[in-house]
Amino acid sequence: MQDIQSFVSEHYESGHYWPAPLIQINPACVSGSTVEELVASGKLHPKCGGIFRFGREGGNPGVSARLFRHQEEAIEIAQNGNSYVLITGTGSGKSLSYILPIVDRVLREKETDSVPSIKAIIIRLALPAVVGPCKVHPSASAICLW
């Protein structure tokens, strides 16, 4: 019994079970293209250019959302039919990284399948920052549950 207690005590004292906290300073995310630029290059459906805009008020068309490089990479991965997990800091656009490829695909599929149906169901445990496109643009055929 003493051997087990000594073994466990030594591991606790060495910090084995309680490692030092990892503290990092997150560098700024690398800036990428705007949604309009990706639309112009054919990488996104044309309607994405009108959906993903900031500052639309009083008839002002607003400005196209500028993406971070990791968001562009997520779009490309999703469009290739691959799954991905994105781990980045708070405020780095994780929600948009998942929503934008879904909206793009739904819009593209609507061109070939005009039968009204649910094309995507988005379930979030926390209120996302990009709920707006789902509410403002019901033509995206997405149902957002939160």
Pull the structure tokens for residue 31. Answer: 């800036």
Residue 14 located in a structural domain:
no
Residue 43 located in a structural domain:
yes
Residue 131 located in a structural domain:
no
Structural domain boundaries enclosing 50:
30-54+61-114
Q: Which residue in this structure is represented by tokens 């149902």? A: 143
pLDDT above 60 (res 134):
no
Residue 127 located in a structural domain:
no
- pLDDT at position 130: 46
User: Do the strands 31-34 and 66-68 form a parallel or antiparallel pair, or are they unpaired?
Assistant: antiparallel
Cβ-Cβ contacts under 8 Å for 134 (sequence gap 6 or more): 99, 122, 140, 142, 143, 144
Q: Please state the rounded mean pLDDT for residues 88-106.
A: 88
pLDDT above 50 (res 141):
no
- pLDDT at position 145: 36
- If residue 5 lies in a helix (H) or strand (E), which one and from where to where? helix 2-13
Residue 96 located in a structural domain:
yes
Q: Please state the rounded mean pLDDT for residues 130-144.
A: 41
Q: What is the C-alpha separation between 106 and 1, in angstroms, rounded?
A: 63
pLDDT above 90 (res 63):
yes
123 vs 131, residue with greater confidence: 123
Residue 134 located in a structural domain:
no
Q: How many domains does the chain have?
A: 1
- pLDDT at position 50: 93
Q: State the pTM of this model.
A: 0.65
| DSSP code for 18 | S
Cβ-Cβ contacts under 8 Å for 44 (sequence gap 6 or more): 35, 38, 75, 100, 104
Residue 13 located in a structural domain:
no
Residue 93 located in a structural domain:
yes
pLDDT digits (tens, 9 = 90+) for 17-33: 665 665 555 567 889 99
